[in-house]
Structures are given as structure tokens and as C-alpha cells.
Structure 1
């Protein structure tokens, strides 16, 4: 005689949702194939998965309880079993319809088809045809993460180890955060928000299915010196007051390498110089914008203080606070 779902979990029909969950977890620790040494662990795990999936869902549980209370509607010779025996849908299908020709079983397949989500938030069980019970394998879910890297990497690329915290399920079907350390190759020319695909590094597959993929979104760190917008790069360059006033030619070291630029006369802090196609070197390269920042030297010696005094006298008419 086949056990019903309450017997499979070892609970009574008046068990609370918390008691059903507790019983399931206890059995999962014992029979999950990843940790169990029992010979029938996989088959047993499948059985308790279906039982828990049914009894933990209020709507399914009501339907199942109705079948238990009204076995005559599901009897009629399922493999010669009497009413109330073997409410496992898979067992009914494996034993055939027998002599129940005069009855309407049109809703039976639909009913049990809803019982099969199973373990780990996505596993499914296929009760197959009337002659056999088969098991499907499923690819694991794809997962997504993002990392921040230095903007200079966009120009040269790199390979580096990264540590990620990925939400997943443990061997008992409980959600947890898994820490992964992976070696990632970041090619040069990646724009902000683009993704790197790591094949089979996502959620584990089910019933022998292959793992999902892991997609890593690239973000570039903003600093006081550099920021990235799409394929464009904004790079702050410090210049002296005389370079800004006189409009001198200066050589600068930028993320795109060394460049020689002409500072326009009377340049102000915040002024931008655009270097075409010197941004992120993607298929359609962005631009590099040099953001000018005027830095005044400190007056530490007497000679330096006198120089500032002479400067003040020369520009006595200038008031920076005038609107």
C-alpha cells in the first residue's frame, strides 16, 4: 500500500504549515542526494519533494485533502488498488487504468501536473506517460552580478580574480548566499554597463542538467580624477595659474597615454578640452575630455610671498567675488 503525502512527511492532517516545513527539512537533510548515503536517497527525495510541494501550498493541499476524503471519485481500478491507496500521481500513471472505462479522468492529469515543482525553487518532475515514470533534467538559472574596476582598465584590459556573493540554494533547498572567487578576463574597450558571460558559472543544474551562466556587469569607479559616461572619459588635469592665463602648451599623462595639448588663454577651472576618439577604445570609440583645474602654489618663502604681493598689486582692479 502506497503512503499518502502526510505519511511520506511523517505528519498528521492537522499539522501546521510550520510543522510540515520542519518535517520536510528534516527529511531533506537525510535524503538529499548531495549529502545522503542512503541507497534510495534520490527516489525518496523526489517523493518528499512532491509531498511537500503539495502540502505547503494551500490551494493544492485543499485539492489533495478533497481526494483523500472522496476516494470513490479516484478509484475505479487504478491498477487494482482500492480506494484511498497510493495518492502519488506517479504511481497511478505507472500502473495503468485497468478496468475504469466508464469514468471521466479528464481532470486527473491536470490536477497532478500542478503538484510537481519540487526542490530548490525550480525543479520539476514529469510523471510521464501511463506506462513509465520519467525524470527530466533542467538547466540551472542564469545569475547576474556587477563589479567596479578602475577606469584605466578600459584602455588596456586585464585579468583579475574577483570575489562575488551569489544568492543560491543549499543542499537542503534553503536560500543562502554563496561566495565565489573567479578569474575574470576583462577585455579592453568595454563600455560602462556591458556584461561579461562566464559559461556554466551560474545556478547549478537539476537532475544532471548543465549549470546556468553568470553575467558580470562592468562598472567603472568614479574618483576625484576620472569618471566614465558610456564610452566617454572625463579626466581632471591640474594646471598652474600662469599656464591658464598665458595659454601654454603642456604635455600630459592621461589614461589614453601621453598627449600634448594647448591650454587656451585665460582658461578657467572647469573648462574642458575634447580629445576626439581618445575615450574608451571600443568599436565606436568615445572621446576624452580634459577637465582643467587651476592649482595655485603655496607661498612658503619670503620670495614667494613677495611674488604674490607683486601679483596682487598688478591685479588690484580684480575682485573674484564680484558678480
Structure 2
């Protein structure tokens, strides 16, 4: 049978690092996956790529493969050396007969048919194909990423530490809670790192979707007389035209002052009248004068 040059199949030199081999595999697997590529021969190419990575992606199998020597060339007849296969590599998983290796070439089956670790196969970045299930070696890693509302409003770049590694994360403008930021190939086991966004508590604002909510404290005379008052927003303070005779609980909208996006969110301002304390004789007399002048009864329907 013919020798198969797995390095050539993945397009990497024999000196390639494990990370370079993994990157090459992922790129080719995406390109030739039958769910993505309907061209004739794509399925066979995809199987060949997986077979090559099954060997070169595991240090022990790669050492065994490399032991054949650099003199073997594609097209030469191959026969495993006497006693080859299984020595020192552990037993095949229970229940797996020789026919289970049918997804691989005769070359692979003769060379590695008795090696352990064949049960799962290599990771398929698109969810598995042809009986080769997912390998935890390329599983995605999930984590939470806490950001501020300002990070989302302006866009930002943050540094996080995962597994002792420091990574840079770009925060897109307008990202909302529950959305995921993907860092390719940065998972703890070789897959992607998926960061689910959550917002840290904010002293001034609350968020629902892309809309921002703020409670604005106003004095009784501002509520009664109306006028322009400053309101904080994520983009800086703006002036709000307060109608006369405003009451606590009234909600006003600042259009487009929420998180940015194809359709920008709004900011909703809820009024809260704050009564000043009467701590001095003059202040108490002022309230007494108000009581004499107004016939207002807040408990009257």
C-alpha cells in the first residue's frame, strides 16, 4: 500500500509546531467540510484532513509516524515493520473492532489500528461528520465578561486573564447583555473562547435591551414651575425641558440616547420629587406659609 504524507495533506512542514498543525487543520476542515463544500471530492478530502490530524495532532501518534523516517515518499509501497502497531500505545477501546477504522485509509489502519485513543476521532469544527464525533481537545470554552455601560456605548478594548494568559478583547459598540464575543482558538482546550457579556451595576443607569433608564431627582419648585434641567446620559449631560406641574413618576424620553446600533436605544427619565428638609426656624416657617397659602390636599381623590 502507499505511504501517506500527512504533513503534505495539511500543508505544513515536518518541523511545524502543534499550534501550526492545529491552525492548518481548522482552516482546511472549514474549507472542505461537506456541509459547507458541495464540490466533487470535498468529502474525501475532508476525511483525509481528519486522518492526517488524527495522527499529527497527538504527540504520541506523531512520534510513531515520524519514526518511519524521511525516506518514505508518497507512492512508495508501504508495509509496517515487524512488530509494529500497539507496542506501548495501550489497548484499543472496548467494543471497537477492526471494521471501526473504515473511515480511515488502509495505511492508517495498518499503522495505527492497535493504538489506543481511537474512540472519539478528531474534532469537527462544524459539529461532526461520518461517525467522527467531537473531541474535547477542541471544545469551546465559555466564560462571562463583565463590562460597563460606557464600554458598550463607546466601544472599548479590555484585557482579561484566562488560564494564566492575558488576552485582549475588543468590545463592539452597542453590544447588549447576553451577547457573545468569540475569541478564535483561545479556549483552554484548543477550541474558541466564548465570552458572554454582562453589565456591572451602574450608579446612575439601568439597562433594558438597548434602552437606558435613569431616575432624575428634582426639587418641588422645579416640578411646579418647570424649566430646563441637566440630565446625565452615557454621552454626557443634556438639558431636559421639564413641563410645569410635573409629578413624581412621570416618564420622559430622550430619543437616541441609549446604546448605539442600527436602531439606537433611547433613554427614559423618571422624575422623582425630593422634598428638602425643614431643619431651621426659617425653613419650618416657609413650609407653614405654604400650608396657609395652598388649599392642596394630596390625599383627596
Q: TM-score, normalization: structure 2?
A: 0.55
Q: Partner of 2:167: helix, strand, or coil?
A: strand
Could you tell me which residue of structure 2 aligns to residue 147 of structure 1? 145
State the Cα distance separating 1:302 from its structure 2 match: 2.4
2:224 is aligned with 1:245: yes
Larger radius of gyration: 1
Q: Residues 231, 270 of structure 1: CA spacing in aligned structure 2 closer, same or farther, 3 A cutoff?
A: same
Question: CA offsets, 1:254-307, max 9 Å, x none?
Answer: 213221211122222222111112110112211111121212222233222222
Distance 1:227 1:127 in 2: 63
Among candidates 111, 114, 127, match of residue 132 of structure 1: 111
Q: Residues 185, 247 of structure 1: CA spacing in aligned structure 2 closer, same or farther, 3 A cutoff?
A: same
RMSD: 3.8
2:293 is aligned with 1:314: yes
Structure 2 stretches lacking a partner, 5+ long: 1-58, 65-81, 84-88, 124-136
Q: How do 1:45-194 residues align onto structure 2 when only pairs under 5 Å count? A: 88-89=91-92, 108-110=97-99, 129-133=108-112, 138=123, 140-163=138-161, 178=163, 181-194=166-179
Could you tell me which residue of structure 2 aligns to residue 200 of structure 1? 185
Q: TM-score, normalization: structure 1?
A: 0.52
Q: Partner of 2:149: helix, strand, or coil?
A: coil
Distance 1:148 1:274 in 2: 27
Q: How many pairs are equivalent? A: 200
Q: Partner of 1:131: helix, strand, or coil?
A: helix
Distance 1:251 1:311 in 2: 27
Q: Residues 197, 89 of structure 1: CA spacing in aligned structure 2 closer, same or farther, 3 A cutoff?
A: closer
Is this contact kept in 1: 2:101–2:109, CA < 8 A? no
Could you tell me which residue of structure 2 aligns to residue 212 of structure 1? 191
Distance 2:245 2:298 in 1: 16
State the Cα distance separating 1:199 from its structure 2 match: 2.0
Q: Partner of 1:235: helix, strand, or coil?
A: strand
Is this contact kept in 1: 2:148–2:202, CA < 8 A? no
